[in-house]
Amino acid sequence: MRLICIPLLLVAISIVVSAVQTQPQTTASESTKSADEAFARKDWATAVQRYEAVVASQPENGQAWQNLGESFLQLKTYQKAAEAFQNAAQLKFRPLINQLNLARVFAASGDSHAALARLHEVAASPQGPQARAFVLMSSEFESLKSTTEYSQVLEELAPCRRPEFHQFDFWVGDWEVRDPAGNVVGSNLVTHEQEGCLLVEHWTSSRGGQTGTSFNYYHVGDGKWHQLYLSNSGNAGAFPPMSGEFRDNKVVLITDEKASPVFRWTWYVIAPGRVRQMAEQSNDGEKTWQTVWDSVYVDKKRAEK
């Protein structure tokens, strides 16, 4: 009889323990949802009350701390707003945004010195330029807009100003493209766009019928240059994406090294107003390379002379 009852008892205990474990989770989820609903309604006082309950039971909930800070800020309870945003930042929850939120609190409370100090810190980070739109649309910074230092911050937040974003600038220009024998094979206009964050190539073959556009950009995430080339052939897959680095004064981009063949393209300055662009192909895992394209770009203004 005992042997039969023990398994049943264990099952009963398991059910009770499971219920005990899942009940707080369900309650926590409902509490967060209730707080979020008040936040969405901009019922700041209710949101504060509910988010305080959420963070009391979930101190690692960065989103709740951030929303609590925003609710306090809207109620002009600046000290508590700063504490909540600081907690979110310390949890590494959207640290850049919450540094900006702290700057908003300082600006709203009249401490322009502290607000500008925070903004300078944000501007100094690699992700700083991503914050410029957030800064420009934050009403708390209205009081700073007439100051020289705020203008300086905006300049610091301007995107793609660091040197690595301009490693490929030598390719920008209006070019006549020649083969190794000096024959003109096409023209290429390479422009800066998106405030210098993007290089766009506009290729036209001298034979007619062939055009192409490439988008070239430096990605802060991996520290590499990337290129996507599209032509008027209608076959986007004919030109696989490439990525690579600027080294030894050359930009070297390569296709997926796991695929075959592998293509490697290289650009570098050979003389003032002249850039060499060449492509190589490897069919043996990059042991050997064969040149499949070679050209010299000549600045059209120099070519006309």
Q: Is the pLDDT of residue 4 over 50?
A: no
Which pLDDT does position 278 carry in this prediction? 97
Which pLDDT does position 305 carry in this prediction? 56
Q: Is the pLDDT of residue 130 over 90?
A: no
CATH (residue range 25-156) = 1.25.40.10
Q: What is the largest CA-CA distance in the chain?
A: 107
Which pLDDT does position 85 carry in this prediction? 98
34 vs 229, 262, 295, CA distance in Å? 49, 55, 64
Contacts of 168 (CB under 8 A, 6+ apart): 199, 216, 218, 225, 246, 251, 267
155 vs 21, 34, 75, 78, 151, CA distance in Å? 52, 41, 31, 28, 6
> Mean pLDDT across the stretch 274-294?
97
Give the confidence band of 235 by pLDDT, cuts at 50, 70, 90: confident
Instruction: Name which residue leads in pLDDT, 17 or 272.
Output: 272
Which pLDDT does position 303 carry in this prediction? 67
The CATH architecture to which 164-303 belongs is Beta Barrel (2.40)
Summarize pLDDT for 43-93 with one digit per residue, the tens: 999 999 999 999 999 999 999 999 999 999 999 999 999 999 999 999 999
Q: What is the mean pLDDT of the chain?
A: 90
Give the confidence band of 5 by pLDDT, cuts at 50, 70, 90: very low
The residue type at 216: N
Which pLDDT does position 7 carry in this prediction? 47
Domain boundaries of the chain, sorted by first residue: 25-156, 164-303
Element (H, E) at 10: helix 2-40
Which pLDDT does position 238 carry in this prediction? 83
> Mean pLDDT across the stretch 133-152?
94
The residue type at 115: A
pTM summary value? 0.69
Phi, psi of 115 (to 5 degrees): -65, -45
Which pLDDT does position 1 carry in this prediction? 40
